Every structure is written in C-alpha cells, then in structure tokens.
Structure 1
C-alpha cells in the first residue's frame, strides 16, 4: 500500500491539505482569515440612524462609515485569534479545514500577531475620531468576543447570548456615533433578530453534525457529532427549534407594536409588517432545510429572502423619509 494511503482527510496535516489544492498567498490568506463576508453584520451600525431618518446628513453617514470600518477591523482581529484557538478542531471539520490558519496558508504566528495588533489598536484608534462612546462599545465588543473565543463558546445558552450581544453592540454604536436616541422597540427587535440568527445557526450546525455522524461508517460512529462545537452536545434540535419559534413570535409581535404606533409612524410602516413577517418565515424555512449554518451565505444567495428584505427596507424608508 502506498505511503499515506488509508489516511482520512480529517487526519491530514496542513501540508497535506494544502498540497491537494492551490495555496493562497500570504496577504490573500490574511484577508480571507478576517472573513470579509461576515463584515455584512457590521452594517447594523447604519440601522439606528436610518430608522431615525438621520442618514440624509453627510456627517451622520461619514460617522457610520467610520464605525463600520472600525468594527470590521476589530472583527477581523477576533476571527484570527478564534481560528488560532480552534485550529485543530477546524482541521477535523469538512468545511472549516480550508480556512487559512487550519490549512496552513496563514502561519499561526502571523495570525496571532495581526490579531493581537487589531484587537488592541482598534478601540483606542477610535478616539482619533472624537467618539469616546464608540471607544467604549468597541472595547466591550472586543472583550466579549475574546471571552466568547476562550470559554463562552463552550457554555450552553451563554454562547447564544454572547454572539447576539455582539450584534446589539453594533446597532447601539450607530446610534451613539450619530447621536440619535435608541427606542425600546428598536433595541428589542434588534436583540430578538440577533438571537434568531444565532439560534438558527446552531440548529443548522447541529443538523449538519448529526447528518455527518449518521453518514459515517457504522464501526466508526461515536456518540458525539464529528468535529462539532462543544456546546452542541448540550443542545437538541427540538430545543433549538422551540427557541427559534418563540423568538420569531416575540420579534413579530414587537415589530407590529412598533410599526402600528400611530403617533410616530405612517401607513408605510404598517404595510411593512407584511414583508417583515415574510422575511421571518422565509428564514425559518431555510433553517428547517439546514441552510442557516452560514447566515451571511443565506443573505447573499437566497433571492426570495433578498426580495422581501428590499421590500421591507423600501417601505420603512418611505415611511421615514417621505
């Protein structure tokens, strides 16, 4: 038998994994490891100013753009450190083994150095733009994401709350840099939407892990999902489905109460309830199909979801700016 035959893909080291495909250059690998597609989440900094009708002001738009860039840099640093910590687990994962650090395209010392520089430099760098509130929020974001990387990601329920809180911090940052008030309804809807996405992601991961376990040869099956997050052992599909259903219902009710507020909102806000509910229903359908493991991919690829989102944003925009 030739040397190396019978060695599973999961047990291959970075050199063997890299030899089976085209290696990425160091700069390109570094950018990929910062996960630019996930920077879509940072668009939340525009949400509160947009809802308040403030994005028509050039200064507000510029402030949000600065906050967006700073959150992208901070997120990139935390992703690098997260991938370094999870490098062995990622190498045993069918999809994550191709990440730059796990595949060996990005050396661990480089990832650690750049990651530490970014998470340490971004919060104080925000002081250059005279936004102390943004500095506080970026610091909270970095501390929370590092805590998630090192221990919260392995604590059941706490992992859901930690990731959701990171989304809420982004939305709050947009309000802070522009100076618009945060309404209770806005914070609740954003918090519930963040929790819905995170719960859907965990459910899709658990479904995928269970499918991988079922597909494994009978003699090699274990009681734990292959290369899964430690927290997945504490969840069940039924629990996550029930949680997702509860969160979806609460979010729809909250949005309806906000949109039907007669003192502040127009008919456009009321009509926006329809695409909002369609958006929630479509997302839940996709999660049930096992598609929600990468939420940013869902947002970029699913045309019906994009269509109802455009309708929702258009109607809310008409209600705010007309």
Structure 2
C-alpha cells in the first residue's frame, strides 16, 4: 500500500513530514501510541472483579500481562488509524496536533512502530494462551478493517468500536477461566455504545462550528438522530442495570439482595455524562473525562467500593 499521498491543502505539511527522520522522539512515540488510552484495557479485569476473585495473585498477574498485550495491539491500531486519518485530522482543532498529522512522525516510522507493537502484543498473547491469542487476532483484524474503511459505514462503525470493549472482557474471561455472563456482555455493549455515540456528537458539534467534516461517517448522522440514540441507550442501560441487580440469578450468585443500591452511582454517572455531552459539549475524549471530571470519578469510585463491599465482605 502507498505510504504517502498529498492534496493541495496539505502539500506543505507533507513536505515537512518527508524531511523528518524515522527516528521519532520518545515523547512523540508515547503520544502516538496513546498510553493514556491503555486504561481501556482494564476491561480485562472486569470478569474477575464480578466473580469475586480479583485478589487471586496468579490470576491478577495473568490479567495484567493480558492487558499489556491488548495495549500493544491497540496502540498499533491507533497508529494505523492516525495514518489513515492524517488528512482529516489536520482539519480538527485538537487532532491536528497528533504526531502523524502534524508531521512530527513520518509514514515510514509509523509503519515500523505498527509492526513492532502488533507483533509484541500478539507474541505476549500467544505465550499466555492460544485462545487469548486467537481472540486478539480477531480484535486486530476487526480494527484493521475499521481503519481501512469500515469506520466510514454509519452505525456499523459504532458497533465495531463497541465490540472492541466486549473482546477485552471476553479476553479477561479466557485468562481468568471465568464465564462471561449475558448480563455482563449486555452491560458492556450498552455502556460502550453510549460513550461512543456521545463522542460522535462532539465531532458533529465541531463540524457545525468549523464547517469541516472531521469524520466521514458523521455525514450520515445529524444531531436529532444522535440525541435520540443517546436518550434510548442511556435509558436502556439504566433499566438493564436495574434488572441485573435484582435478577434472581445474580442475587443468588452474590448471596445479597442489596446490589440495587449501586444503581444510584450508575444513574448519577450517566446523568453527569449527559450533562457533559449536552450542556458542556465536551464529550470528545472519554479518557480525559474519566481522569479529570471529579463527579464522574466520584461515581466510579463509589460504585467500585459499594460493589466491593457487597461482593467481597458480605
């Protein structure tokens, strides 16, 4: 595949890129592989947490290594995606500062990093478990498809990103030997869709302000459609979580009738995210929200603590 192509609008930047050596700075590489996004790979710990076996050291070690494997492969996908989107990113007020879009890292260096990180992640996965290795292959292939065109298909793009979170959870289930229930799968699907749609809405707000299309699939959406989807998904997520906490299957497994209490933090967290999306219009970076929004942090920590008390101490 060709590594470079140019348009009149980006000729000067491409010339700058061609003069940059393949030896990118450490800071640029860290930014390119999006180390901050590695927090998403903590999803591999979810099955163990819900099963009440999170403090099994051997299992915890396996999951940590598995999360690292996911991180490496995910970083290789981020690089591919950034390379494919470099022209559109230059029109985005924030994404234009990404290493490839800005010309800080050239195409050759980017593809070398893709090979290094993808092979490293898959090698680690293979050393852990062949089942986990095959799952990571599926994740890698699915996201390559996303980067090379599936992301331009409306609605399909949303479910592919959401599937990435589900695969992380199933990967955690494989490594810990824990069955991932339909309840857990459904909750992860709904929650990830909610966050992804909110992020798409942020792209549409930018397009409305600047007139530049920052994501091709967004042309098939409008604010009314996205707002309706957010309302539906948030409502279904809350209802599904309530049904989960009061279902006989779950209460019997955890031997507790008090799981419904954790619903408070789920509802509060979703309401705050909707506020960030509709009122503050800052839903473009879920990771930033997770780290910086004090209310979201409080609800997440409170949910974890309350669930921990119910699962591990009662």
TM-score, shorter chain, exceeding 0.5: yes
Map Cα deviations across residues 148-180 of structure 1 (whole Å, 9 max, x no partner).
000111000010010000011111111110001
SS at match of 1:272: helix
Q: 2:237 aligns with which of 229, 251, 256?
A: 251
Q: 1:291 aligns with which of 282, 295, 311?
A: 282
Q: 2:141 aligns with which of 136, 140, 143?
A: 143
| Partner residue, 2:66 | 67
Contact 1:90 1:227 in 2 (8 A): no
Alignment length, in residue pairs?
295
| Partner residue, 1:315 | 306
Map Cα deviations across residues 225-281 of structure 1 (whole Å, 9 max, x no partner).
x04111111001111111111111111111111112332342441210111111111
The 5 Å alignment of 1:1-322 reads: 13-14=12-13, 26-129=25-128, 131-213=129-211, 226-261=212-247, 262-265=251-254, 266-288=256-278, 289-322=280-313
Q: Which runs of 5+ in 1 are unaligned?
A: 1-9, 19-23, 214-225
Contact 1:74 1:142 in 2 (8 A): yes
2:197 and 2:274 mapped to 1: Cα distance? 11
Q: 1:179 to 1:295 in 2, by over 3 A?
A: same
* Stretch of structure 1 that moved more, 163-172 or 284-293: 284-293
Considering only aligned residues, what root-mean-square deviation do their CA atoms show, in Å? 1.9
Map Cα deviations across residues 18-47 of structure 1 (whole Å, 9 max, x no partner).
9xxxxx962221121001111111111111
Q: Which runs of 5+ in 2 are unaligned?
A: 1-8, 18-22
| Partner residue, 2:4 | none
> How many Å apart are 1:121 and its aligned residue?
4.3
Q: Which runs of 4+ in 1 moved over 4 A?
A: 15-18
1:51 and 1:283 mapped to 2: Cα distance? 24
2:53 and 2:179 mapped to 1: Cα distance? 11
Contact 2:10 2:87 in 1 (8 A): no
SS at match of 1:263: helix
> How many Å apart are 1:208 and its aligned residue?
1.9
Contact 1:267 1:319 in 2 (8 A): no
1:259 and 1:175 mapped to 2: Cα distance? 20
Contact 1:148 1:159 in 2 (8 A): yes
TM-score w.r.t. length of structure 1 = 0.87
